[in-house]
Amino acid sequence: MTDETQFSGQGLSALFLNCSLKRSDQQSHTQLLMDNAIAIMEANGVAAQSLRLADYDIAPGVQPDMRDHGWDNDDWPAIQEKVLAADILVLGTPIWLGDKSSICTRAIERLYGYSGETNARGQYVYYGRTAGSIITGNEDGIKHCAMNMLYSLQHLGYVVPPQADAGWIGEAGPGPSYGDDGKVGLDNDFTRRNTTFMAWNLMHMASMLKKAGGYPVPGNQKDAWEAGTHFDHPNPEYR
């Protein structure tokens, strides 16, 4: 019998994209919460990397390289290489005006710019990968942001496992953010539990996909989907 309590993330890689509006020379509450998930993954053998997107010059648009469309600079293509090299993608964002940050929106738009490309199996390029979200703030919106972010990621082809969102918010209105004074929110059981579940379920799903060689191909190949179609309308007038 297989010991289901044993797990190894060796051979898996994770990329955490912090969509804070602050550059790396400033404290990021989102990064602090993301670091908890990173620690769980690294403790289980996953190679994890975190990028602060505010540090980069990311042009707006939905094309793979916006330098081909009139922009002088665009750091996204180099970031995209890291995205495609990772088995797990986690987007982290603060909440502003009840929604994800503008940088998070831009990241999703740039991910979308590659959504028409395919992998070696003829599937859309993000197939075989898994994704989650981490959200912080001092106003309502965790579930709203997660709903939008995770829908976007699965629409692009990522597999979203159970409990793939985690976050922390304080009291509504101005107030302390996650980790302020070295203690705010750090002992919150709801946040700790959901962060743990998210990290583990992302690892479990990524491991299953890796062992399976990716996501099954019948019926979802960009240029061969008709071969997997078995729909025949019962009314002859609509055939």
Average pLDDT per run of 10 along the chain, which is 239 residues long?
71 98 96 97 97 98 97 98 98 95 98 95 96 92 95 98 93 79 82 95 97 93 73 59
Q: What is the pTM of this model?
A: 0.91
Question: What's the pLDDT at 1?
Answer: 36
Distance CA 149, CA 168 (A): 16
Question: What's the pLDDT at 229?
Answer: 60
Question: What's the pLDDT at 178?
Answer: 85
Question: What's the pLDDT at 2?
Answer: 47
- Structural domains in the chain, CATH included, are 13-238 (3.40.50.360)
